[in-house]
Amino acid sequence: MASRLSTSNRAGWLMALPGFGLIVLFVILPFVLAFALSFTNQRLVSPNPTEWVGLSNYRALLGVGVLHLEPERDDAGNVVTDENGAPEYPRLRSFTRNNPDYPHLAGMSEWFFFDRGEGRTYVLASDVVFMRAIVNTLIFVAVVAPVQAGLALVLALLINQRLRGINLFRAIYFMPVVVSIVVVSLLWRFIYAEEGLLNNLLASLTFGAFDGPDWLGNPRTALGSVIAMSVWQAVGFHMVIWLSGLQTISPTLYEAGAIEGASRWQTFRYITWPGLRNTAVLILIVITMQAFALFAQIDVMTNGGPLDSTQTIVFQAVERGYGRQDISSGSTISVFLFVLVLSISLLQRWLTRERR
């Protein structure tokens, strides 16, 4: 077909140019700028000229150091303990502030520590909040991707039955997808509140035995609560994609399976699942990309708190790039996020490649 098309350079460029030009200006230019700005000290508005600062943004964001300390000992060589009997350690500040012997730890603060033998090993970071943001985001992705993909598949299998009124159920399961995540987040803030719907329902179901926490106000439950709500909102989206994958599987395969006397599990394992391969890869990559972008839920529900337990990478990028108008730091986070998303997508693609 293509060979019969007449060459029309002028018309081709003219018709593609509005779309292509807009994409260049509003996607490709900022994408390239993100890399360039991450090596500068650009601010949104600044009286000073922008300067090239090399890798210092990356160091300030991602710098990590390890420091092993022995407990303090008195002159007799005994470990000095505090009133609770715990050994005392030299103050971290004496290593991280103006200590010429430890230049690589300058400006860092404690991220976490673990005791090893007699001593204690501190892991320090230039930006502890951002480290927490990375960890929280990775936890979110690691939980949401498999759980949401799995639940979506279960729902798709349920909906794929031939039953009267099944379209009604499909419509209901999909409903949260068309509701803005911002609306959902504010609604669930009430559901999760200490005197909120969830706790009240749980209390009445258990005849008052259950006394629920303030789900979003507790560092131990906050991220989990955000995860549960996010899955609730988006699972219908991926259910529909599974469903369209299910419908591409030829019915004759199922008939053949039925004739062979395949059990329900065998039918799924040897007919349905192989037919869903490509869908599975696509869904995994799409959910992962969406999950890394976690922002609105955090902004509406927790603001990153309590105690940074729900900080995320994008939330940090916005807080710096927009909140503090520090474009260079926000851009550095953007570049980091892009590289992270890309490498994880490539990894997923490689892990799920077809083995022959």
Partner 1 sequence: MSVIDPSNRGLQLATRYVVLTLIAVIFAFPLVFMLVSSLKPDDQLLRDTASLRAFLPVGDLSLQNYYAAFDRAPVGTFILNSVLVTGVTVALSLFVCSMAAFAFVFLRWSGRDLVLGVILATLIVPFETIAIPLLLVVSKLPWIGLDGFSLGWLNTYRVQIVPFIADGLTIFLFVQYFKDLPGDLAEAARVEGASNWQIYRKVVMPLAGPVLATAAILKFLVMYNQYLWPLMVVQEEGRRPVMVGLQYFFQLNRAWGEIMAYLSMITVPVLAFYLYMQRSFIASIASTGVKG
Nearer to partner 1, 67 or 291 (CB): 291
**In whole angstroms, how close is the CB of 265 to partner 1 at the nearest point?**
10
Token pair 């992705």 in the structure block, residue:
141
Q: Which are the contacts of 199, defined by CB distance < 8 A and separation ≥ 6?
A: 193, 210, 211, 212, 213, 215
**In whole angstroms, how close is the CB of 162 to partner 1 at the nearest point?**
11
Token pair 């690589």 in the structure block, residue:
104
**In whole angstroms, how close is the CB of 129 to partner 1 at the nearest point?**
17
Tokens of 241: 């994609």
Nearer to partner 1, 12 or 107 (CB): 12
Nearer to partner 1, 108 or 285 (CB): 285
Nearer to partner 1, 42 or 96 (CB): 42
- Give the residues across from 73 on adjacent strands: 79
Half-sphere exposure of 54 (CA within 13 A, CB side): 2
**In whole angstroms, how close is the CB of 240 to partner 1 at the nearest point?**
5
**In whole angstroms, how close is the CB of 267 to partner 1 at the nearest point?**
9
Nearer to partner 1, 63 or 236 (CB): 236
**In whole angstroms, how close is the CB of 269 to partner 1 at the nearest point?**
14
Nearer to partner 1, 46 or 250 (CB): 46
Tokens of 104: 């690589």
Nearer to partner 1, 113 or 174 (CB): 174
**In whole angstroms, how close is the CB of 107 to partner 1 at the nearest point?**
23
H or E element in which residue 119 lies:
strand 119-125
Nearer to partner 1, 20 or 112 (CB): 20
Q: CA 293 to CA 286: how far, in whole Å?
A: 11
Q: CA 314 to CA 149: how far, in whole Å?
A: 22
H or E element in which residue 116 lies:
strand 109-116
Q: CA 287 to CA 341: how far, in whole Å?
A: 11
CA distances to 65, 73, 92, 294, 353 from 108, rounded to whole Å, are 8, 25, 9, 27, 41
Q: Please classify residue 250 by burial: count the beta carbons closer than 10 Å to its beta carbon, then call 0-12 exposed, 13-18 middle and 19+ buried.
A: exposed
Q: CA 99 to CA 252: how far, in whole Å?
A: 74
**In whole angstroms, how close is the CB of 286 to partner 1 at the nearest point?**
8
CA distances to 174, 242, 347 from 276, rounded to whole Å, are 20, 8, 19
